[in-house]
Structure 1
Amino acid sequence: MTPLLELDDVRKHYPVHQGLILRRQVGIVRAVDGVSLRIAVGETLAVVGESGCGKSTLARLALRLIEPSGGTIRVEGRDVTRDGRAALRPLRRQMQVIFQDPFASLNPRMSVEEILAEPMLVHGIGDAASRAARVRELLGLVGLASYHADRFPHEFSGGQRQRIGIARALALSPKLIVCDEPVSALDVSIQAQVVNLLKDLQAEFGLAYLFISHGLAVVKHMADRVAVMYLGQVVETAPAKVLYANPRHPYTQALLSAAPVPDPTRRNARPALDGDVPSPMNPPPGCRFHTRCTVAQARCREEAPGLRPIGAGHEAACHFAETIPAFTRFGDSVRHPRLQARLALYEQKRAAMNAAGTTAA
């Protein structure tokens, strides 16, 4: 079946200039650097990674809001990589977006009815009466009452504003919705409501989601497949259940180990990530993750690993994906010597602090 959205070796590089009069290029920021992804009809593909890894830039590329530096973008098999504004106009109805900040993304001077009717006005859909009826239908779909149409964004809570944003994304009956961290600004209880609403709408209308997030618990509940990004590249992709049960890239394992555990008596066996993300202007040679990797070897510093299949629907960009220690989430022994040494040092410091506290008491 033809994918709904297909990205093939997509890149976005930003030149960095210096000087006010004699401007010259001094570098390139490789925000997205050779990403290939596919989203099927009705599927949710989640993209996760640390801040600055290129997730939001990838979302804007998928929507053709920015011009790619290279690669190919196809929608339902049609190449739209170089299409101009006129050719992209029909595409806009098929692809919509839900933003991270539910307040900043809504015009405070417009009522809810005007906000929801605006996409239909822009695309010349229906008359005033049909648009008003559609607005009330959209409010019902997202769990709001029809009388909310006359109110303004500041009169709603954060969760209600995000529901309005979801209703606006549905106004044109799209096939794909890009969700750019749609619940990260909401309370935990409200996050669950919004995620469940998105899943219900997907089941009802057959929507596909490109779900951008750094909340691994939300992604686990929401995604069919997961792509993990690091420094502008996808380092692992797999069905969500496979990825969470058996991550094969050290970066994915570190992200999962850093996720909070609801039980304070249990802790992850693998420590969280050390060090900072390298600059996208000057990424490390070889594997871009080797400067923070606990299993890196000489080959990693010299040879860049490509994304390659390691199982059914499972791909990883690691030279040792098949041989690195299996992910141990809670209570298991740490197998790598460097990790063992770090964990032992941590235990010594904690014992010393406890002893000092007992002596002071």
Structure 2
Amino acid sequence: MSTPLLEVENLAKHYPVKRGLVMAKTVGMVRAVDGVSFSLDRGETLALVGESGCGKSTTARLVLRLIEPSAGTVRFEGTDITAMSGQPLRRLRRRMQIVFQDPFASLNPRMTVGDILEEPLIVHEIGDRMARRARVNQLLGLVGLASYHAQRYPHEFSGGQRQRIGIARALAVEPALVVCDEPVSALDVSIQAQVVNLLKDLQARLGLSYLFIAHDLAVVKHMADRVAVMYLGKIVEVAPKDALFANPRHPYTRTLLLAIPRPDPHRRGAKQLPGGDMPSPMNPPPGCRFHTRCPFATDICKSEDPPLRAIESGHMTACHHAETLPAAVAAEGVHAASPAAALRLALYAERRGRITATAG
């Protein structure tokens, strides 16, 4: 059996909370990420989903060593990268790149597109000037832009075009892993499907692996091979996408699926969504972290933290009652089959549901 491209074990990031101006004292820790483990195979897309504040983006940055972990290990191509520094870490950057969420803030407005795409080649000392310019033109064509766009500045492009430039920059140094941190959430619905289809096409052509951070389950349904669900700094369920959407085994995953807007906003779901907000990561509840909002919680949920365990082949969940939960209601609006048209319909239905609900 081949070694996974990426292996993450017990990864954690705790931020100290200090009080006082002169002699600040640590009064607590924000557990942004608290013991996350997963793997990613070559050519695979693993989606990391969950509500805002659950630790998705922090996990992505820990994997890339953009921020330093408090604990845990990250192995890339079989090598532990958590202890790397200097030139070895610099060389590793070529193999791991990121596409940021905001295509307006992630591009330097004072640089032309050509300079933006050439910069990583200069940093990693790849090719001479002529070779770099040729590579820039190649990258622009790869993401559906023209070579003359290299002379323009970011403000001259639309949001979708800017994100294409961000994708081209990530591909400039030929990485094996691309972390996509909500790459379509800042784009218009009509453009999201184009960018998602571009990412899938590039994956097929270049053999890329994606760690895809998202909260939009319609996009995840069409993009991912497997899905990992995060809640309050922990992964609570991991499964192939079809198994997760058809039969979610954690109550929080069911909450996310029930929250998907329906094409008919007047139609009620089979169950009401659990109330309350996510607890503070500075003071997470004992036992299962979801028990304060879970309709199936019992005494054991309040006292014992359930481990992430396998309940079926490839399907893992962190729930004491995974085998005894009632049958889940299938999520509507995300099971359509064809890639491009179905994704546009799903996104349009979601957008329409939001607009109608707001108007009501």
Do Structure 1 and Structure 2 share a fold, with TM-score over 0.5? yes
Q: How does 1:309-348 map to 2 (within 5 A)?
A: 309-329=310-330
Cα distance in 2 for partners of 1:330, 1:35 equals 26
C-alpha change, 1:330 and 1:309, in structure 2 (3 Å) is closer
Match of 2:143 in 1: 142
Deviations 1:129-183 (A, max 9, x none): 1111110110001000111110000000000000000000010010000000000
Cα distance in 2 for partners of 1:146, 1:267 equals 50
Deviations 1:197-236 (A, max 9, x none): 0000000000000000000000010000000000000000
1:273 offset after TM fit, Å? 3.5
Cα distance in 1 for partners of 2:68, 2:193 equals 34
The answer to whether structure 1 residue 80 and structure 2 residue 81 are counterparts is yes
Cα distance in 2 for partners of 1:156, 1:61 equals 31
Instruction: Report if aligned partners of 2:49, 2:228 keep a CA contact under 8 Å in 1.
Output: yes
Cα distance in 1 for partners of 2:271, 2:94 equals 45
Helix, strand or coil at the partner of 2:287:
coil
Helix, strand or coil at the partner of 1:64:
coil
1:72 offset after TM fit, Å? 0.9
User: Which stretch of structure 1 is more off in the superposition, 76-85 or 154-163?
Assistant: 76-85
Cα distance in 1 for partners of 2:124, 2:185 equals 30
Helix, strand or coil at the partner of 2:98:
strand
The answer to whether structure 1 residue 250 and structure 2 residue 262 are counterparts is no
RMSD (CA atoms): 1.1
Deviations 1:52-107 (A, max 9, x none): 00001000010011111111110111111111132201110000000000010000
User: Identity of paired residues, percent?
Assistant: 69
Match of 2:275 in 1: 274
Cα distance in 2 for partners of 1:216, 1:126 equals 41
The answer to whether structure 1 residue 307 and structure 2 residue 321 are counterparts is no
Cα distance in 2 for partners of 1:86, 1:20 equals 38
The answer to whether structure 1 residue 69 and structure 2 residue 83 are counterparts is no
Q: Number of matched residues?
A: 331
Cα distance in 2 for partners of 1:265, 1:25 equals 49
Cα distance in 2 for partners of 1:330, 1:252 equals 11
User: Which stretch of structure 1 is more off in the superposition, 119-128 or 265-274?
Assistant: 265-274
C-alpha change, 1:330 and 1:245, in structure 2 (3 Å) is closer
* Residue identity opposite 1:120 in structure 2: L
Match of 1:20 in 2: 21
Stretches of structure 2 that go unaligned for 5 or more consecutive residues are 333-360
Instruction: Report if aligned partners of 1:258, 1:271 keep a CA contact under 8 Å in 2.
Output: no
Q: How does 1:35-184 map to 2 (within 5 A)?
A: 35-184=36-185
Helix, strand or coil at the partner of 1:30:
strand
Deviations 1:248-291 (A, max 9, x none): 00000000000111234543212224111100010000000000
4+ residue stretches of structure 1 with deviation over 3 A? 263-267
Instruction: Report if aligned partners of 2:248, 2:254 keep a CA contact under 8 Å in 1.
Output: yes
Instruction: Report if aligned partners of 2:274, 2:295 keep a CA contact under 8 Å in 1.
Output: no
Instruction: Report if aligned partners of 1:269, 1:330 keep a CA contact under 8 Å in 2.
Output: no
Instruction: Report if aligned partners of 1:3, 1:38 keep a CA contact under 8 Å in 2.
Output: yes
* Residue identity opposite 2:63 in structure 1: A
1:21 offset after TM fit, Å? 1.3
Cα distance in 1 for partners of 2:87, 2:13 equals 22
Deviations 1:301-349 (A, max 9, x none): 0111000000010000000001111111479xxxxxxxxxxxxxxxxxx
Cα distance in 2 for partners of 1:271, 1:94 equals 45
Whose radius of gyration is greater, 1 or 2?
A: 1
* Residue identity opposite 1:109 in structure 2: R
* Residue identity opposite 1:75 in structure 2: F
Stretches of structure 1 that go unaligned for 5 or more consecutive residues are 332-361
| TM superposition score normalised by structure 2 | 0.90
Helix, strand or coil at the partner of 2:227:
strand
Instruction: Report if aligned partners of 1:254, 1:270 keep a CA contact under 8 Å in 2.
Output: no
Instruction: Report if aligned partners of 2:99, 2:167 keep a CA contact under 8 Å in 1.
Output: yes
Helix, strand or coil at the partner of 2:109:
coil
Deviations 1:179-199 (A, max 9, x none): 000000001110000000000
Helix, strand or coil at the partner of 2:120:
helix
Deviations 1:26-59 (A, max 9, x none): 0001111001110010000000001000001000
Match of 1:351 in 2: none
Helix, strand or coil at the partner of 1:235:
strand
C-alpha change, 1:153 and 1:330, in structure 2 (3 Å) is closer
Match of 2:198 in 1: 197
Cα distance in 2 for partners of 1:237, 1:96 equals 24
* Residue identity opposite 1:21 in structure 2: V
Cα distance in 2 for partners of 1:329, 1:267 equals 14
Helix, strand or coil at the partner of 1:168:
helix
Helix, strand or coil at the partner of 2:9:
strand
Deviations 1:107-147 (A, max 9, x none): 00000000000000000100111111110110001000111
